[in-house]
């Protein structure tokens, strides 16, 4: 219920941002048009945001025939978690990472890169997928997916305003208000995501994943290995869509610029330390 309330507040805040930009660019008429667009985006993102994100990453669905061991692992963990079996996807990316998406445990999907499957041992991969299923069980996935698609839509609308604001003879934007709007909207969108998605959520999913797998050390080892391997291996789809970075088990973005605003992950060292402490008091299955 709390996550549903957070989702409603987030969608209302983004609707207000749409209306503000519409008013800045087109007065009262622009605000009305922006309201209609925002309402349409809210509806569309609720029902289809998971498909949008999976499409952004060119994820392909796999099953018992195409990835039997991986799918069997997810099925076993879903049973441990007491949730329905999600759809399973693979992403052809060398960078090791994974995420969960969907609007509810009954309409969920988990995705992993081919890189993470190559890099991790079966035990470590099991820990990662348990973490993602913990997000599903905790119902984090709706607000994560909607925030990603709506933040991206704000950036698109701002750029649309810049493009149609026109330019003067020297190539400068003829509508300075549109330029100001673009300058402030990306940070605002990032701030909304950071307010909606606490870094504490990752600690909770780490703990939940450890309980689902019964093996906190496996997830700790996986996080340390992903952190080391991911350095110098950019995830191109995430760089193109930085608003989706908060969905990943590890921040896939290179540091610097506006991309840094979308960092919603706690330091890996702290996550590993918390898991090792949990392993000390929780026996492995």
Active-site residue, 132 included = yes
Sign of the torsion angle spanned by Cα atoms 117, 121, 124, 130: positive
Closest CA to 214 of 147, 279, 259, 140: 279
Considering the candidates 124, 132, 202, 243, report the single residue annotated as catalytic.
132
The answer to whether 271 touches 202, Cβ cutoff 8 Å, is yes
Active site residues per annotation? 132
């Amino acid at each position: 219920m709390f996550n549903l309330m957070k989702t409603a507040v987030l969608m209302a805040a983004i609707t207000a941002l749409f209306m503000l930009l519409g008013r800045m660019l087109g007065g009262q008429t622009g605000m009305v048009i922006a309201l209609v667009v925002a309402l349409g985006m809210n509806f569309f993102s609720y029902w289809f945001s998971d498909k949008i994100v999976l499409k952004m990453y060119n994820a392909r669905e796999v099953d018992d025939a195409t990835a039997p061991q991986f799918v069997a692992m997810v099925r076993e963990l879903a049973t441990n978690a007491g949730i329905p079996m999600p759809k399973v996807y693979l992403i052809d990316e060398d960078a090791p990472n994974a995420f969960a998406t969907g609007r509810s445990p009954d309409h969920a999907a988990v995705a992993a890169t081919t890189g993470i499957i190559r890099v991790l041992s079966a035990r470590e991969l099991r820990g990662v997928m348990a973490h993602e299923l913990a997000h599903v069980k905790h119902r984090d996935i709706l607000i994560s997916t909607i925030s990603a698609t709506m933040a991206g839509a704000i950036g698109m609308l701002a750029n649309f305003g810049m493009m149609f604001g026109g330019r003067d003879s020297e190539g400068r934007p003829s509508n300075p208000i549109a330029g100001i709007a673009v300058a402030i909207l990306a940070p605002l969108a990032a701030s909304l995501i950071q307010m909606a998605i606490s870094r504490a959520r990752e600690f909770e999913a780490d703990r939940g994943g450890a309980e689902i797998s019964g093996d906190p050390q496996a997830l700790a080892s996986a996080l340390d290995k992903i952190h080391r391997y991911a350095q110098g291996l950019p995830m191109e789809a995430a760089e193109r869509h930085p608003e989706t970075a908060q969905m990943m088990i590890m921040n896939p973005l290179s540091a610097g610029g506006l991309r840094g605003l979308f960092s919603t992950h706690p330091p890996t060292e702290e996550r590993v330390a918390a898991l090792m402490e949990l392993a000390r008091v929780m026996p492995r299955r």
